């Protein structure tokens, strides 16, 4: 099942994508794609609805982030060995955790906004895991039962803010529109193996990243279990699981985004995104 949210920013409605590719309005069934709706019981209730009985939505409508009410946007750093190598860093002995501000979250095709003072805005295609049920101290064997589904995310990063300024990575990861999420939340049952999905990203039509989730150092089940030892995970929380090689930071010479660029990215079975790169209109 592919769930989504559509409409203007801040006023999105819940929807689903039916088998024909038509967006259907779920607002008469659920209030939003978040909270208890993400539990197994909540998702089963949506499955019992006949999509053909739901109103069709204009295919040109804006898609918002595919989940509502995200309390935490947790990122796993250096989770692909070849990406760690291109960054000049060792594979960490445990998952590296950092946070992205939830205010960075936006729709899958909303623009990448280069913030004031940025010269090193970079791209990162990543598999996002959406939590469906509160998870605390869960085992790796049970971890997947707490997952509602998966989505594409672009973990946009400002490398100077992230690496060259004092402090933690958060400020290089949290600028407005640095967290495109969607187009869909693909439910757990519809993804046979989250550790075997091809993923790609292009800039102006040129392939930059071409990888697979099979090369993750720490897989989804391990990451969910690991995080739950340190914090409760709640419905709607997003875990961004790392990126394969091909980011601008790792190139020689390094390459970064500029206004006028177009970024496209996708993950097998989870859809794709397209973003225009613009300067901050408030900058």
Q: Which CATH class is domain 67-279?
A: alpha beta
d(CA 233, CA 88): 31
Residue 235 and residue 101 in contact, taking contact as beta carbons nearer than 8 Å:
no
For position 168, what pLDDT does the model report?
A: 84
Look up residue 143 and give its two tokens.
């971890």
For position 55, what pLDDT does the model report?
A: 98
For position 88, what pLDDT does the model report?
A: 78
Contacts with 169 (C-beta within 8 Å, 6 or more apart), sequence order: 77, 98, 162, 163
Q: What is the pLDDT of residues 11-56, one digit of tens each?
A: 999 999 999 999 999 999 999 999 999 999 999 999 999 999 999 9
d(CA 51, CA 15): 10
For position 167, what pLDDT does the model report?
A: 80
Domain ranges of the chain: 67-279
Exposure string of 21-51, with b = 16+ CB inside 10 Å and e = fewer, is eebbbbeebbebbbbebbbeebbeebeeeeb
* Predicted TM-score (pTM) of this structure: 0.96
Which residue stretches of the chain have pLDDT < 50?
Answer: none
For position 112, what pLDDT does the model report?
A: 98
For position 84, what pLDDT does the model report?
A: 76
């Amino acid at each position: 099942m592919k769930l989504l949210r559509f409409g203007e920013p801040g006023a999105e409605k819940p929807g689903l994508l039916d088998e024909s590719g038509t967006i259907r309005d779920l607002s008469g069934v659920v209030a939003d794609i978040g909270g208890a709706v993400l539990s197994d019981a909540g998702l089963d209730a949506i499955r019992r609805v006949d999509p053909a009985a739901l109103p069709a939505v204009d295919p040109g409508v804006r898609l918002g982030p595919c989940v509502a009410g995200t309390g935490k946007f947790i990122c796993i750093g250096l989770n692909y060995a070849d990406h760690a190598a291109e960054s000049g860093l060792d594979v960490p002995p445990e998952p590296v955790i950092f946070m992205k501000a939830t205010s960075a979250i936006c729709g899958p095709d909303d623009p990448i906004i280069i913030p004031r003072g940025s010269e090193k805005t970079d791209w990162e295609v990543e598999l996002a895991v959406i939590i469906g049920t509160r998870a605390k101290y869960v085992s790796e064997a049970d971890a997947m039962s707490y997952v509602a589904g998966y989505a594409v995310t672009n973990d946009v990063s400002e490398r100077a803010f992230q690496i060259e300024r004092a402090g933690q990575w958060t400020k290089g990861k949290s600028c407005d529109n640095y967290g495109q999420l969607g187009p869909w939340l693909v439910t757990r049952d519809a993804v046979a193996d989250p550790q075997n999905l091809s993923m790609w990203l292009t800039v102006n039509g040129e392939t930059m990243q071409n990888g697979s989730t099979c090369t993750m150092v720490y897989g989804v089940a391990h990451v969910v279990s690991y995080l739950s030892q340190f914090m409760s995970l709640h419905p709607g929380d997003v875990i961004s699981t790392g990126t394969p090689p091909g980011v601008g930071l790792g190139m020689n010479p390094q390459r970064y985004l500029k206004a006028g660029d177009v970024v496209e990215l996708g993950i097998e079975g989870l859809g794709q995104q397209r973003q225009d790169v613009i300067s901050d209109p408030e900058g």
